[in-house]
Structure 1
Amino acid sequence: MHSLPVLLAAALLTAGCSGAESDAGLRPAGPSVPTGTPTGAPELDVEVLAEGLDHPWDVVQAPDGTLLVDERSGGFTAVLPDGTVQQVRADLGDLRAVGETGLMGLALDPAFEENRRLYSCQGATSGEIQVVAWTLAEDWSALTRADDPLVGGLPLNERSGRHGGCRLEFAPDGALLIGTGDTATGTVPQDPGSLGGKVLRADPATGEVTVWTSGHRNVQGLAIRPGSGQVYAVEHGPDRDDEVNLLREGGNYGWNPDGGGSYDESVPMTDPSIPGAVPAVWASGQPTLATSGATFVSGDEWGAYDGLLLVALLKDQGVLALRLDDEGDLTEQFQVPPLDDAYGRIRTVQQGADGALYAVTDNGDDDRLLRITPGS
């Protein structure tokens, strides 16, 4: 395992405290924020590409169009460009799948066409969460461990698996971003010596990791805004305020459930008593929606959907659309009509290399991989 220096950036941004709480499922941000489907939004077509999956967690698409899905309990499935669905062999003998933790986030290397390299984040029987680097066979039949692990030492709640994170995404500068959970341990999010409750930056070649942001509860989504370099994180709140956060180096996002040895979930998601705590750009209010994987939609064919941040919803069973201005302020929000309560819990939504959207459901042992495209 590569060395893991934990370097918390010294400077915290000076930002105001969190906004007022709301009792609405969609955060009301004043009458100027529309909440209905925008004029000019195309009809969306939804196609089932694979079914019979067991709690799939993430999906990525290779440049040749092949899709790869993983399942929390262990296993990889490929959907080839001709529609063939096949299992991908992989050594998962050390996988620790318990509660919310198991085989979780996936990311393809930016140079995948040359190196066939893939990254997964997963619980391990060694008592930690790890990022493992794999190489994929040319025919998509098997995965072989390359760096095992690339990054280790991410905390794991071995008893319950609660708040294990763990989303992966490549930053525009080539760093591998890792969103982690706080393992339901009160001291973790604000502890600079812990890799939990953080967003990390890792070197995909060496595994060297630094703490980029702190004060998170359970990061379930990471999304890069095209053309801007902005990184947004999505995380679960307790009984209020799921959040979408615009990440800035050294930012503390204000989750501090340390109750003097207990895990105090009555505290606000963004605690205003923390100096410089960065407020969320969107919060659910009460009740929560159980926000998860996220992606930005890009492409003229998407019409009024172009530029939206889409967020998968577990408890509210659908996909939330947020329009953010250049500074990250909310200007519009609605739930995407053909997915609203139609397929159950949505764990992840991602825009593929071909411009289509891909989503996985998370209902049980008969889950689906969906393809969503704008109608003609």
Structure 2
Amino acid sequence: MKLNKTFLGLALAASSLSIYACDSKDDLDIASDEPIDETFAVQTEKMLINVDTLYSDLESPWGMTWLPDGKMLLTERKGEILIFENDKFTGQKVQGLPKVHEVNQAGLLDVQAHPNYAQNGWIYISYAKPKGGNKGATTIMRFKLEGNQAVQQEELIETTPEWEGGRHYGSRIVFDKDNYLFFSNGDRGDTPSNAQDLTNSHGKIHRIHDDGRIPSDNPFVNEPNAIKSIWTYGNRNPQGLVYDKANDRVWEAEHGPMGGDELNLIEKGKNYGWPVITYGQNYDGTPITDITEKEGMEQPVTYYVPSIATCGMTIVTSDKYPAWKGDILIGALAKMHINRVDMDGTKALSQEVMLQDIGRVRQVSESPDGYLYAITEGTGLLVKLIPIR
């Protein structure tokens, strides 16, 4: 299991940095083939941790979830789900999954077990469904596992309109305490105005029942021609989404353009501003807009200029990491680290860059037994963060 030789020294040096971050293009790819040890200690600002490399041959990983029997499912964007048990790859992959539209950022994306999986056995995925030619559509489906076979497949919702290419697909899935399913969907990149248009699905956070029905209290169900599943809009490319169970809150991290990545508290019916307001600019340095605030549009809880390319995220709830409890951890793709946001309720305080140069961190997750895991692109890693008492 291999990693960049310089990583350990850089990680040890990366204690607390208060940042408004670094440059991003979220489709950058960086590879490394230089070896170091599989397990090593890293001193962060508040605690000493062991970084345990569990697997190092991932190809464009995206999401992970755990089942009650201890198995972990991990998605790869090319359309596969790897099965792990006791922190080891079993050599098995889920069979019978739908074909995916794998282009750029599109493909098989997130995976989540239903909160009541032990009773109902449902597993949910978000993926880019092929629509012919070079077009795809973000789709949510669910299935059950029989051995390693995906059976009883049910497509719950397909976003519209279908879109050419593979830019800005989002896409995360979370459940709240009432088992509503929230999923994110990007603006598709070449048409930022999608995010302000309630007649299409793109650049939005959506909310559905766990069987795909549209909740009657969604904010735009009575608005003519609006997509009824929309929960919020004005979200550029939300690749991070997490549910804060203790406080019944949904948090989102989204890519800005060149600058302007955002951490947002997601609330019913609100407009998060893209592309009318932003702290970023076009990749050629020209302005997107001349305003960063507007009445009726939400401000981010914190933002990053230049960008770090925010991605998958988690909230630390485990007693295993007492110094981080309540903080938000966000994967950084372009800047290749885990960004810890010190939270005070809904206020973001200082930030810390952790595990600098570990790779393009696609997702950070907390397991049911309270340990933190991260997956990376380029270096292809699954790592576990183990606190040293």
Using structure 2 for the length normalisation, give the TM-score: 0.79
5+ residue gaps in structure 2?
Answer: 1-17, 23-42, 215-227
Report if the CA contact (8 A) 1:255-1:270 is conserved.
no
- Aligned residues, how many? 328
Are 1:199 and 2:210 matched, yes or no?
A: no
Deviation digits for residues 303-334 of structure 1 (CA, Å, limit 9, x no counterpart):
211111000010110100002222x1112211
Mapped to 1, the partners of 2:320 and 2:168 lie a distance apart of 37
Match in the other structure for 1:16:
none
Question: What amino acid sits opposite 2:210 in the alignment?
Answer: P
Report if the CA contact (8 A) 1:65-1:354 is conserved.
no
Deviation digits for residues 233-262 of structure 1 (CA, Å, limit 9, x no counterpart):
00000001100001111110000269xxxx
Mapped to 1, the partners of 2:153 and 2:330 lie a distance apart of 32
Report if the CA contact (8 A) 1:47-1:371 is conserved.
yes
Match in the other structure for 2:272:
253
**What RMSD, in angstroms, separates the aligned Cα atoms of the two structures?**
2.4
State the shift of 1:102 in Å: 0.5
Match in the other structure for 2:47:
42
For residue 293 of structure 2, the aligned residue among 257, 272, 276 is 272
Are 1:367 and 2:388 matched, yes or no?
A: no
Identity of aligned residues (%): 29
Mapped to 1, the partners of 2:201 and 2:329 lie a distance apart of 27
After the TM superposition, list the runs of 4 or more consecutive aligned residues in structure 1 that deviate by more than 4 angstroms: 268-271
Match in the other structure for 2:241:
222
Structure 1 residues 156 and 101, CA gap change in structure 2 (3 angstroms): farther
State the shift of 1:223 in Å: 1.4
Are 1:87 and 2:92 matched, yes or no?
A: yes
For residue 109 of structure 2, the aligned residue among 92, 104, 109 is 104
State the shift of 1:186 in Å: 2.8
Structure 1 residues 304 and 269, CA gap change in structure 2 (3 angstroms): farther
For residue 351 of structure 2, the aligned residue among 333, 339, 345 is 333
Question: What amino acid sits opposite 2:153 in the alignment?
Answer: A
Report if the CA contact (8 A) 1:106-1:118 is conserved.
yes
Report if the CA contact (8 A) 2:79-2:99 is conserved.
no
Mapped to 2, the partners of 1:82 and 1:319 lie a distance apart of 21
Are 1:291 and 2:310 matched, yes or no?
A: yes
Are 1:60 and 2:65 matched, yes or no?
A: yes
Structure 1 residues 240 and 196, CA gap change in structure 2 (3 angstroms): same
Match in the other structure for 1:134:
143
Mapped to 2, the partners of 1:334 and 1:270 lie a distance apart of 28
Structure 1 residues 270 and 371, CA gap change in structure 2 (3 angstroms): farther
Question: What amino acid sits opposite 2:145 in the alignment?
Answer: L
Q: Determine helix, strand or coil for the equivalent of 1:52.
A: coil
Using structure 1 for the length normalisation, give the TM-score: 0.81
Structure 1 residues 300 and 340, CA gap change in structure 2 (3 angstroms): same
Question: What amino acid sits opposite 2:380 in the alignment?
Answer: D
Structure 1 residues 87 and 277, CA gap change in structure 2 (3 angstroms): same
Are 1:281 and 2:301 matched, yes or no?
A: yes
Structure 1 residues 358 and 207, CA gap change in structure 2 (3 angstroms): farther
Are 1:69 and 2:56 matched, yes or no?
A: no
State the shift of 1:64 in Å: 2.3
Mapped to 2, the partners of 1:61 and 1:150 lie a distance apart of 21
Question: What amino acid sits opposite 2:293 in the alignment?
Answer: P
Q: Determine helix, strand or coil for the equivalent of 1:227.
A: coil
Mapped to 1, the partners of 2:330 and 2:237 lie a distance apart of 15
The 5 A counterparts of 1:181-196 are 181-184=186-189, 185-196=191-202
**Per chain length, whose mean CA-contact separation is higher, i.e. which structure has more relative contact order (CA < 8 Å, sep 6+)?**
1
Report if the CA contact (8 A) 1:155-1:183 is conserved.
no
For residue 153 of structure 2, the aligned residue among 122, 129, 146 is 146
Report if the CA contact (8 A) 1:131-1:150 is conserved.
yes
Mapped to 2, the partners of 1:313 and 1:270 lie a distance apart of 26
Mapped to 2, the partners of 1:332 and 1:63 lie a distance apart of 35
5+ residue gaps in structure 1?
Answer: 1-21, 27-35
State the shift of 1:23 in Å: 9.2
Report if the CA contact (8 A) 1:122-1:129 is conserved.
yes
Mapped to 2, the partners of 1:169 and 1:374 lie a distance apart of 26
